[in-house]
A and B are shown apart, each in its own frame.
Chain A
Amino acid sequence: MTDSNSPEVAASEPGPDLTPGGTPDTPGTPGVADLAEAGETDETLLSPPRPVFAQNWKRILSMGAVGVGAQIFLALSNMPLRLDDRLLIKPILSLGYVSLLFVPFIAGNRVGHQIQREGIPMHAAGLHEIFGGVICGVIAGGGVSLLSVLLVNFDLREPLVNWSPMLAELLAFGNSTAFAVFIWLLLGGLAGAAGGAMRLVNPKARRVVVTMVLTVGFISVLESLVMDLAEGLRFEWLTERVYARRGGLNWNWALILAAFSGLVAMLTRGRVRQAREHIASLEGASRARTNFGLIILTGAILVILPLFLGKFTNELLANVGLFVLLALGLNVVVGLAGILDLGYVAFFAVGSYSAAVLTAATSPRINPEMPWLVALIFVVVITGLVGLFIGAPVIRMRGDYLAIVTLGFGEIIRLLFLSDWLADTFGGSQGITMIPGAGIFGLGSVSGTEPRNVFYLVLAFCALAIYISWRLERSRLGRAWMAVREDETVAEAMGINTVNVKLMAFVVGAILGSFSGAIFSAKVGSVFPNSFLILVSIVILVVVIFGGMGSIPGVIAGSAVLIGVLGGPRQPGLLSEFSEYKLLIYGALLIWMMLARPEGLIPSVRRSRELHQQEIAQDSWLREQLDEEAESTAGNDQPARATA
């Protein structure tokens, strides 16, 4: 096989470059396509595979070098050692080794990546991709080999705290250094080959494989959640078999799960997508009804599920809910009005502290000991006023200046609570403790000892906040916010009072944040200035960006993934093993997101439906081509419609 027969193959393809099925998958519009399905290229033109040795060596070297850097960094961040106890599949695989091995896999996969250009055939994947992956993987694995040698022969423990013999032993699988060098070259090559091979399997098979790997991965990683569920739903008899005694899946059950999920994936092939497209194609009343049904269903699940969950999971859900509230508030400010607020934690702090002062008997100076619900009214008013007070000077600025000033205000508020000056009101660094729980209409007290009740309370407020955001987004005010976000000067010229509108965004954001604060103080039972570090602002912002700015479902998904799975600034997540590396993973996810899906996990859906179809065909030239083609394939003899 040489590349001499490429014209023949190109000629044998029936249509010109604009096959109707191919266009919606152009790489420029990943928005609506599902992550797993984004790589589907089965309808594009293919030219024969490249010869095995005609590699892009520069690319292999650079990817390999990135792999070396990443693996050494990960190894020295102590992740492999810390996560070695966490078995995924007993006794074969621990999370520690996975944290290293995924690097050559990804590198090997990326090396074979081709940019899919409209009208230009792609090379069919073949041995070329596998070979490239192997080389790249070997280079990346060589990084670990190199590290093993260095670990034994030098002592750099002084600057690098994790430079330890234990790490060397782990990397050598308990054998000699020579073995380590050899095994990592081999493992890197194998992982790279696997990564390259992923380019070979056709998209449908790849989907099945990905589903299998993800299923096994999730079930083993989310062991604590599954165990908790098992206890509530009484299927411990099953989990006892599936999981090994000291964590991790039993290897035979891992195989069973993989086979089962693969089967499900094969049976449901395309169904999910069909259902989604069906829902998207609904119009008017039937669409509204479907949406309503879905909302009711989600609500029902969220109300019923916690009854079967243990404390750990309910606590987790409550934390996610608190961050959903915060992120919804920040979403109004950042996502809708476009004001980059880096000090959003201020409103969370004011909400928490004012609720604490108003309800706790132990509050130093002012202690009206109000019931929680009554206090909430004051909390909302106070936080709203603080929003107004902070917002008034801040919103006259734009861009970077504004961001820096909000950052400053966020810290000022925390320092005020910490200060000696206000210590006899807010307790200084001692904070306020013994805050009673939230009493709700005689339904009993909601406090931290009853995570399930806290979750229900949070859920109610989330529903309220979602409703408020949703209505606001579609209101005149929401439109004005978006106009200000897009172009403040023109918005002003349209007659929008930009100062007032931006202040409203600040106040609404502050009030939504205060809900979260009030619940937080009742849940935790104490407030300290240390709970409101700048990190909280950053994490909320990351949640909003990760989920999709301006998108309510996105914000919820962002909280669920970042806070629920990885954990919040102080709240443990499902992957409690990762808590030390949380910020590292946040950063990596954020970078990946900005590269692969800058519009966020679930982008604002309001417009994306029609938009993505039309944007491709927006050019009148392109449109004419498509029309002509459609007409010719339909066998119509009518002259091409002019699309002026």
Chain B
Amino acid sequence: MSSADSSTDVPPLLEMRSVNAHYGAVHALRDVNLSIRAGELVCLLGGNASGKSTTLKTLLGMLKPSSGEVVLDGEVVNDKPTSYRVARGVTMVPENRRLFKRLSVRENLDLGAYLRSDSDGIAEDLERIFELFPRVKERLNQKAGTLSGGEQQMVAMGRALMARPRLLLMDEPSMGLAPALVQQNFELIEQIHASGLTVFMVEQNANMALSIADRGWVLQTGRVVLDDSAENLLTHPELRASYLGQSDT
């Protein structure tokens, strides 16, 4: 499937070029092509076991592709470790938040900035996060595991932002949250995107994700089956039928 909207001159921030990936013998990703351009908010949709999380892992370097290329800023990074990519501005907010539960909120945030050494910049970013989430400041010395779900989501976002990323990879931001919090969370993602961050999110909640995204892909059993703008995807009959649970009559 070719890209629907014509690409601009700006080189993509992160790209997957016909990537195949395996878990042992299982073929998890088949010839996946993705490109994330700076400033975009894009989403990857798919049901269970469609390869969404595998795509994220491959992008972040926690899984090596068996063929194809992962390209960051025009450089093939297949053989570079995760730390290399994190240092160059790619950060993930993991599925279900996954904070370091027995560490304090402060320690969680500090760990987000693990690869940075500019203490002034770190302090600055910490202040920015406190502005964004005043609640986090209140909870700074508390164990992360004792926070409520919504607060944990804030800390998880804060932790990712502490790396001062250019590209934020979000793994199922709506998972395990109450509906009201999901709404809040997506507003937050929009807000972060508006502040200049590129966001790539992986979601099952297609309706929600497409309502804020610019573009999207649909993944099915490891293959990209749809690649279109968000508006087109939202009205796409197949997608509506299979993911949004609506028939197009």
Known contacts A476-B114, A479-B110: A497-B81 contact under CB 8 Å: yes
Is B104 an interface position by the 8 A CB rule? yes
| Docked-complex contact B163 and A489, CB < 8 angstroms | no
Shortest Cβ distance from residue A184 to the other chain B in the assembled complex, whole angstroms: 47
Is B232 an interface position by the 8 A CB rule? no
Is B87 an interface position by the 8 A CB rule? yes
Number of interface residues of B (CB under 8 A): 29
User: Which one of A486, A494, A611, A615 contacts B114 once the chains associate, using CB atoms below 8 Å?
Assistant: A494
Number of interface residues of A (CB under 8 A): 22
Known contacts A486-B102, A497-B81: A614-B141 contact under CB 8 Å: yes
| Docked-complex contact B142 and A615, CB < 8 angstroms | yes
Residues 104-143 of chain B, each 1 if its beta carbon lies under 8 Å from chain A, else 0: 1001001110110000000000000000000000000111
| Docked-complex contact A486 and B100, CB < 8 angstroms | yes
| Docked-complex contact B94 and A490, CB < 8 angstroms | yes
Shortest Cβ distance from residue A503 to the other chain B in the assembled complex, whole angstroms: 14
Shortest Cβ distance from residue B70 to the other chain A in the assembled complex, whole angstroms: 15
When chains A and B are docked, how far (Å) is the Cα of A476 from the Cα of B110? 9
| Docked-complex contact A497 and B146, CB < 8 angstroms | no
When chains A and B are docked, how far (Å) is the Cα of A492 from the Cα of B143? 21
When chains A and B are docked, how far (Å) is the Cα of A618 from the Cα of B163? 28
| Docked-complex contact B111 and A479, CB < 8 angstroms | yes
Is A442 an interface position by the 8 A CB rule? no
User: Which one of B104, B111, B146 contacts A494 once the chains associate, using CB atoms below 8 Å?
Assistant: B111
CB-CB < 8 A to A21: which residues of B?
A: none
| Docked-complex contact B60 and A614, CB < 8 angstroms | no
CB-CB < 8 A to A491: which residues of B?
A: 100, 111
Is A459 an interface position by the 8 A CB rule? no
Residues 64-86 of chain B, each 1 if its beta carbon lies under 8 Å from chain A, else 0: 00000000000000000111001
Known contacts A476-B114, A487-B100: A493-B146 contact under CB 8 Å: no
When chains A and B are docked, how far (Å) is the Cα of A610 from the Cα of B91? 31
When chains A and B are docked, how far (Å) is the Cα of A496 from the Cα of B60? 12
| Docked-complex contact A493 and B60, CB < 8 angstroms | yes
Is A495 an interface position by the 8 A CB rule? yes
Known contacts A479-B107, A497-B83, A615-B142: A492-B62 contact under CB 8 Å: yes
| Docked-complex contact A486 and B103, CB < 8 angstroms | yes
| Docked-complex contact B94 and A496, CB < 8 angstroms | no
| Docked-complex contact A618 and B146, CB < 8 angstroms | yes
CB-CB < 8 A to A489: which residues of B?
A: 62, 94, 98
User: Which one of B82, B107, B147 contacts A493 once the chains associate, using CB atoms below 8 Å?
Assistant: B82
A480-510 interface with B by 8 A CB criterion: 480, 482-483, 486-487, 489-497
Shortest Cβ distance from residue B14 to the other chain A in the assembled complex, whole angstroms: 15
Is A271 an interface position by the 8 A CB rule? no
CB-CB < 8 A to A495: which residues of B?
A: 82-83, 86-87, 114-115, 163
Is B92 an interface position by the 8 A CB rule? yes
B141-182 interface with A by 8 A CB criterion: 141-143, 146-147, 159, 163
CB-CB < 8 A to B110: which residues of A?
A: 479
Q: Which residue of A lies closest to B135 (CB)?
A: A644
Is B101 an interface position by the 8 A CB rule? yes
When chains A and B are docked, how far (Å) is the Cα of A555 from the Cα of B179? 46
* Selected A-B contacts with CB under 8 Å, 7 pairs: A482-B103, A483-B100, A486-B103, A489-B62, A491-B111, A496-B111, A614-B142
Interface on B for A, CB 8 Å cutoff? Answer: 60, 62, 81-83, 86-87, 91-92, 94, 98, 100-104, 107, 110-112, 114-115, 141-143, 146-147, 159, 163
Interface on A for B, CB 8 Å cutoff? Answer: 476, 479-480, 482-483, 486-487, 489-497, 607, 610-611, 614-615, 618
Other 17 A-B pairs with CB < 8 A, given A489-B94, A493-B86: A476-B114, A482-B100, A482-B102, A482-B107, A483-B111, A483-B114, A487-B101, A491-B100, A493-B60, A493-B91, A494-B86, A494-B111, A494-B114, A494-B163, A497-B83, A611-B142, A615-B142
